[in-house]
Amino acid sequence: MKEILRRLVWDQEGQGMAEYGLILALIAVAVIAILGTMGGQIGDTFQKVVDKLQDANNQ
């Protein structure tokens, strides 16, 4: 039992995974912030693309 606890305390892989988790969380927050500020513009751009595709399909 002591050996298992010692391995858990000194295991470096767990630390690396925690760092990757923090980086992923930071990226997620940045993406959410960008989408929050530019969401309307992105939606308008996609709507223009959809309209053009529908026009091309109807011709």
11: left (phi over 0), alpha (psi -120 to 50) or beta: beta
**Per-domain residue ranges of the chain:** 2-58
Q: Is the confidence at residue 42, as pLDDT, over 70?
A: yes
Where does the pLDDT of residue 12 fall: very low under 50, low under 70, confident under 90, or very high at 90 and above?
Answer: low
Q: Is the confidence at residue 2, as pLDDT, over 80?
A: no
Kindly report the pTM of this predicted structure.
Answer: 0.52
Measured distance CA(4)–CA(21) in Å, rounded: 24
Contacts for 42 with CB less than 8 Å, ≥ 6 apart: 35
